Structure 1
Amino acid sequence: MESMYRSLKDWHDQAMSLGDPRLDGWLLMDSPVPPALLSILYVVLVLAGMRWMKGRNPFDIRPLMVVYNLSMVVFSAWLVYEFCVSGWLTGYSLGCQPVDFSRSPKAIRMAKACWWFFFSKYIEMLDTFFFVLRGRFELVTFLHVFHHAVVPPSAWWGVKFVPGGFSTFATMLNSVVHVVMYLYYGLAAMGPSVQPYLWWKRYLTKFQMVQFVTIVIHGMQLYFIECDYPKAFANAIMTLACIFFVLFANFYIQAYLKRSGGRRSVQKKQSAHQTVLVANGHSNGRNGAAHNGHHEAAHGRKTD
């Protein structure tokens, strides 16, 4: 056991020595262990919270949710701005884009934008706790928990070793998606009066899936061009994008296609049932008229 621990520690120390020295001392950047432990703690707290809330009255935290979601819109928009002015609108290429490891103000600004993107993933874990406190356990899906638990420790490696360059296209695009996503959440939290204006929810899911496809297409370039950017990080991002695409596609099918298909089936059955009732009504009407006619005729004969 001691030898295993020593081997892991040696590997850890050697790997950390290859990280970007500019990030030494930054919060959560000295080791991958704290980010991993925070993700485990997140899952534990979600499960414990659901168990604690079971049988309790949901909390009314709508005002807090409105403020939180709209704040996340502003924060995500700021991240998009930082990624753009740090590179994507000031010289970065959609093709090969190496990392600038210099200490120039622009390079440091990009590194800080990457760190803030990583740290924002811990802030976004509040989404789940809001669901739990409101008793909306049906929203705490495998997709939701898996996404919030996996992304932060995965993003840590990119920030530690390549804080800038090629793969920040994915982080910038994800920040754009989050501007729209948190805008939707913020409007939804305002109550039933806003619901008629949220018809575009299904298109938000499509937007998220398009994001993953775009990330994969962008990353595939590295297999066809010469580029001084480590393919391992691009491969990791593309793998996560593929996994999330499958999960989001499954969610879309279950939430929209099958549900709408089920509604159409119910509507057809209701329509068929109404048709039968109408037909039976006409038939009963004819039978009743005939019966009344025979009765009146018989009664007339008796009267005469």
Structure 2
Amino acid sequence: MEGEYELKGYVYPYFAKGLQLVTGKDPANFKFVVGETPLSTFKEVAILFCLYYVVIFLIYTFMKNRKPFQLKGIAFVHNCFLCFISLVLCVSIFEFIIQIAVKHGFLNSVCAKEAYTQRLEVLYYCNYLVKYYEFIDTIFLALKKKKLDFLHLYHHGMTMFICWCQLYGHATITWGPVAINLFVHVIMYYYYARTTIIKKRVWWKKYLTTLQIVQFVIDIFLIYGATYTYFAYNFFPALPNFGNCNGDPVMAIIGCAVITSYLFLFISFFKKTYKGKKPSPKAAQDVKKAASTGKSTAVKAKNNIKKRAKSEKFN
């Protein structure tokens, strides 16, 4: 049965060859085993999670009385790499999932234990490792002395943790949040790479944030649905359900909570950034001054016209 789910890949074989060249190990032999696979234990995740925030705090302290770094060249290469690796991982995941959905049905691609294949696990693990690399995003911002809001810091740290939860829980639905997130990251890191070297305003920035919000709506639909049918089937069979759904229920609940928090935080960010912009006190004062000047000029012009007309009348 499992062999029926190990379908032909088109992009993945090239990715696997590159991976073997870099690591010296055949990806076909990979299996995520807690305690054996690097960065597979909760202890390792917790330590690196905390270290991320400590390092950012130390960099900000170090940069307090120093000029910001520019980092244009290295930031451009960094963003291009993340755009490329996100594209490769995204296409590789979707090429398997689409085949599974066509051959076995969409529900099986979401819930069947066999649909959580070895090759997909390789891709999920690579995506998980990339989340550590993405911490460099924050390091660059700190070195450039850019303001970091709660959303950025929370999102980067928790996304790494959620990717570990997905591997730990072996949930078949893992492909949904991972592949959709990778698709968004292809566009997002292209945007970052572009703005690194071209300072001209990108007109579609607002739609990128909208896409991120749509991502979380789709994620919630998928993971809430999979979690519901798992609990309904196993604990409340009287409720309508689609049968059992493969995955650890605790990790599923954590995933639901974090993805939901992302949705609300990104909606709040969208409103604050694109809907709730208010002019600064200085800008408001300048506008008021300009309006007052304009009104005064108009009154003077009107009076001059009256004087000229009166003078012409008597002449």
Q: 1:274 to 1:232 in 2, by over 3 A?
A: farther
1:252 is matched with which residue?
A: 270
Matched, 1:281 2:280: no
Unaligned runs of 5+ in 2: 1-29, 229-240
Unaligned runs of 5+ in 1: 1-20
Matched, 1:159 2:167: yes
Alignment-mate amino acid for residue 89 of structure 2 = L
1:206 is matched with which residue?
A: 210
Q: For residues 221-266 of structure 1, what are the alpha-carbon distances to aligned partners after superposition, in whole Å with 9 as ceiling and x for unaligned?
A: 233422332444443323222111111111111111122x649x95
Alignment-mate amino acid for residue 292 of structure 2 = H
The alignment-based identity, stated in percent, is 23
Q: How large is the RMSD of aligned CA atoms in angstroms?
A: 2.9
Q: For residues 120-162 of structure 1, what are the alpha-carbon distances to aligned partners after superposition, in whole Å with 9 as ceiling and x for unaligned?
A: 11011100001111121x2x11100011111212221220230
2:38 is matched with which residue?
A: 27
Matched, 1:89 2:98: yes
Distance 2:300 2:135 in 1: 58
Q: 1:289 to 1:79 in 2, by over 3 A?
A: same
- 1:269 Cα deviation (Å)? 4.9
Q: How many residue pairs are counted as aligned between the two chains?
A: 262
- 1:274 Cα deviation (Å)? 5.4
Q: Whose Rg is larger?
A: 1
Name which of 93, 116, 138 aligns with 1:128. Answer: 138
TM-score by length of 1: 0.77
Preserved CA contact (<8 Å) 1:72 1:182: yes
2:253 is matched with which residue?
A: 235
Alignment-mate amino acid for residue 179 of structure 2 = M
TM-score by length of 2: 0.74
Alignment-mate amino acid for residue 190 of structure 2 = L
Distance 2:290 2:106 in 1: 54
Matched, 1:169 2:176: yes
Preserved CA contact (<8 Å) 1:115 1:159: yes
280-289 vs 33-42, which moves further = 280-289
2:27 is matched with which residue?
A: none
- 1:183 Cα deviation (Å)? 0.4
Preserved CA contact (<8 Å) 2:112 2:246: yes
Distance 2:98 2:288 in 1: 56
Distance 2:293 2:219 in 1: 50
